[in-house]
Each structure stands twice: as structure tokens, then as C-alpha cells.
Amino acid sequence: MITITEDNDKNNFITSVFKVYCSNGQYGSGSLLSLGGNQYVLTAAHVVCENTNGFLGWTIKSTPTLRPEQFTCYNSLGDSWQVSDIYVFPNYHVTPGFSLADDIALIKLAKLLPLLPAYEIYRDTNEFGKEITTAGWSGKSGFVQFNNSLDMPSSDTTLLYYDDDSTIPADRNNLNSVGVDNEDLLEPGMSGGPNLIDSKIAGINSMMESTYFGRLARVSAYASWIDEVTSGKYSTKDNPVYQPPKTKAEVMLNVPEVNNGYVVNYFLASFNYAVSTDITFDYKTVDGTALENHDYTPVSGRATIHKGESYVVIPVNILGDMLVENTETFSLEVNNFVGYTLPDGIIKLVATHNIIDNDAFSIT
């Protein structure tokens, strides 16, 4: 296995950053990971989900995921590889404002590629202010790479931003532009391509938020999910797939356990109306009778309900086993709101869900 370092970055970009092509004509970019033995490609979720090519260009949808056999991965040497499986992050969705949330996915190739250079992921959370190298396959320019600076703070812990400092005097947060001069912006086809810090993938090209601002899926926020998938520990092929809820009535408070792998359960943080400003808050899972990393994968972070929207969903993986257990509980706590004030005397909100065991003998 060959791991990419700073010394060989430029030579290996074009062999390890793939064009991810679908038989329906859409395509994007992706990067070969060393995790999982050089068999997984890290990309953007919208690259592997069905999009519609219309008069105004591609209309991005969050579902359905296209079939693995529709995809082929290419590099600049003319090599090509078939795809055996696709894993889209459970909470990926297109918001009402046509922004992409949790825009990250993994492609499993049909074979290992041990002789190709492969990337590690950037796990630290100190990305802000650092210079990055951005790459991908442009439909206009072919293979593209350039330097940028992560000089735009974000209240959403799953995102990174950069701005085009060479074009405008200030970024979206009204800070002075800093970092690399003559920064470039994403072109169609570069979606899913890598953004490197110290030769490790720190961000995934997601979308242009405007003419000047590039938005990236922050890889450090998804490290545990990437580890789960590439370890091969979890298989979801035969497990039910639940859709993220949009209303309180759609929330699954009682989720049946599976025998192996995991199933995704969703918490919903919502208002009864579209908010007039961004509202952010901290969230974290808390053990009840269910235990983290035994019955479910813990999550924590900071979420945003964006202006004009009314809700955000928070996914939690419920882990399967073959043990006979009682119904178990776990909760999600939210606090530290910005843009919203809780009623007097309330410092946090708590929602509790139940994991229903499926392993006990019964007669019906």
C-alpha cells in the first residue's frame, strides 16, 4: 500500500483522484483512500445520487441513490474500475433552499488497488486558517488543481468554506480576506474532489454557495462514519432504510434493532414555522439504558436551522446484535442556542428514543 505524502502529491494527484462517471451522463470526482486497503473512494453524496439534466442544467436530488453497476471510476492513465457498492451518509439531503447537507459518500470498488497511491483523511479539527490544495475533474478544463485558504468560519461543524480572495475584498462573514492570492473556484465536475491539508483529505468539494464562496464537507466531522464503512464491520444490505423525518409525526420514537450492522434512527429539531434567521445549537447523545458504542454510535456537534427553513435532522446509528435484551433508551440533548431563547428556567431540551430488541423468543 502506498500512502501519499507531500513529496509525491503532485505526481500522484492524477492517478489517485478519480473521475466518477455514471452511465446516465452525470459525473464528478473522488479520491482513493488508504482506509479499507485501497478499495474505497471518498466523494460527494450528490455525485452518486440521481440528478436530472434539464434546460437549466443539473437539478440535484437527494434520492434515489443510483445503482453501483451504473458507475465506473477512471484516472488520467486510462485505467478504469467497476463499483461494487455505494454508501451515502444517512442524513444527506437537499434543503428547501437547494443547499446540500451532509454531502459525503463512499464508493467501494470491485477490487483492491494496492499498487496505487492512496490518501489518508485529516482527523484534526484545526482546519480554519490553513491553506489547502483543491483538486478534481472539470468538464471544461480536464484535471484541475489549485491552492485555497480555509479563511471563512462556519457555525456548522460539518462544513468548511473558502472564498475567492483575489476577486472580492471580504468574505461572507465580513472578515478581511487572507491567505493565498489568486484563489480559484470550483468548476462543474469537481464535486467530490479532495481538499488537502498536509497531504490528507480535509474537505470534499460540495458546491459553490455563491459566485465567490466554495463550500466543502468537513471530513473530520465524518471520520467515525468513514471508519465504520471502510472497516467492513457493518453491513446494511439487508437492513431497513428509514427516511429522514420532516414532521414530528414522522419521527420513529421506537426503532427495531437489527441483527448485524446498523440501522439509522433520526432525531428532529424543528419549529412550526420557517425561521427568519439562522438558529444554531449544540447537540449530543446521552446514555439511558442503552450504552454508546455498544447499542448506538454516539454523536455530538453543532447544528443549524438555516433561515427560511423549519427543521434539521440528526442521525444516529443503532447497532445490531444477536443478544436477548430488554427495550433500551437513549436521548439527544440540545442547548447553547444562538438566534433563539429558551423559556425561562430551561437550559436544555431532551428527546428520548427506544431501541426495541428483536432477539427474544416469542409466540404470537
Co-location of 136 and 113 in the same domain: no
Co-location of 142 and 210 in the same domain: yes
Report the pLDDT value the prediction gives residue 101, as an integer from 0 to 100: 78
Boundary of a domain, candidates 223, 257, 289:
223
Co-location of 135 and 105 in the same domain: no
In which band, very low, low, confident or very high, does the pLDDT at 53 lie, cut at 50, 70 and 90? very low
Residue 330 has pLDDT above 70, yes or no: yes
Residue whose C-alpha is closest to residue 304's, from 276, 282, 274: 282
Report the pLDDT value the prediction gives residue 277, as an integer from 0 to 100: 94
Boundary of a domain, candidates 118, 141, 174:
118
Q: Which residue has the higher pLDDT, 183 or 298?
A: 298
Residue 219 has pLDDT above 90, yes or no: yes
Co-location of 257 and 336 in the same domain: yes
Q: What CATH number is attached to the domain comprising 344?
A: 2.60.40.2030
Report the pLDDT value the prediction gives residue 194, as an integer from 0 to 100: 94
In a domain, 364, yes or no: no
Q: Which residue has the higher pLDDT, 177 or 157?
A: 157
Could you give the CA distance from residue 270 to residue 205 in angstroms, rounded to a whole number? 28
In which band, very low, low, confident or very high, does the pLDDT at 17 lie, cut at 50, 70 and 90? very high
Could you give the CA distance from residue 170 to residue 33 in angstroms, rounded to a whole number? 35
Residue whose C-alpha is closest to residue 260's, from 241, 291, 238, 242: 238
For strand 254-256 and strand 194-197, is the pairing parallel, antiparallel, or unpaired?
Answer: unpaired
The whole domain housing 140 covers 131-223
Residue 311 has pLDDT above 50, yes or no: yes
Contact 71, 106 (CB under 8 A): no
Report the pLDDT value the prediction gives residue 209, as an integer from 0 to 100: 63
Co-location of 343 and 312 in the same domain: yes
Co-location of 188 and 286 in the same domain: no
Residue 71 has pLDDT above 50, yes or no: yes
Report the pLDDT value the prediction gives residue 332, as an integer from 0 to 100: 96
Report the pLDDT value the prediction gives residue 129, as an integer from 0 to 100: 84
Q: Which residue has the higher pLDDT, 33 or 86?
A: 33
In a domain, 290, yes or no: yes
Co-location of 13 and 110 in the same domain: yes
Co-location of 92 and 179 in the same domain: no
Lowest mean pLDDT among 46-50, 178-182, 201-205, 354-358: 178-182
Q: Which residue has the higher pLDDT, 109 or 115?
A: 109
Residue 303 corresponds to which amino acid?
A
Residue 151 has pLDDT above 80, yes or no: no
Co-location of 71 and 95 in the same domain: yes
Output the CA–CA distances (angstroms, integers) from residue 351 to 49, 102, 236, 259, in the order listed: 31, 22, 26, 25
User: Residue holding cell 425561521?
Assistant: 275
In a domain, 285, yes or no: yes
Q: Percent of the chain at pLDDT above 70?
A: 77
Q: What CATH number is attached to the domain comprising 41?
A: 2.40.10.10
In a domain, 233, yes or no: no
Report the pLDDT value the prediction gives residue 144, as an integer from 0 to 100: 82
Boundary of a domain, candidates 92, 118, 144:
118
Average pLDDT over residues 115-123: 92
Report the pLDDT value the prediction gives residue 334, as an integer from 0 to 100: 96
Co-location of 107 and 15 in the same domain: yes
Q: Which residue has the higher pLDDT, 215 or 237?
A: 215
Residue 63 has pLDDT above 70, yes or no: no
pTM here is 0.64
Co-location of 210 and 273 in the same domain: no
Co-location of 183 and 218 in the same domain: yes
In a domain, 14, yes or no: yes
Q: Which residue has the higher pLDDT, 133 or 64?
A: 133
Q: Mean of the per-residue pLDDT values for the chain?
A: 80
In a domain, 123, yes or no: no
Report the pLDDT value the prediction gives residue 173, as an integer from 0 to 100: 43
Average pLDDT over residues 317-345: 89
Q: Provide the domain count of the chain.
A: 3
In a domain, 347, yes or no: yes
In a domain, 320, yes or no: yes
pLDDT digits (tens, 9 = 90+) for 232-277: 765 566 678 888 899 999 999 999 988 777 788 999 999 999 999 9
Q: Which residue has the higher pLDDT, 257 or 3?
A: 257
pLDDT digits (tens, 9 = 90+) for 185-214: 677 788 899 999 999 999 999 876 655 577
Could you give the CA distance from residue 62 to residue 56 in angstroms, rounded to a whole number? 18
Angle at 304 between CA 300 and CA 306, to 5 degrees: 165
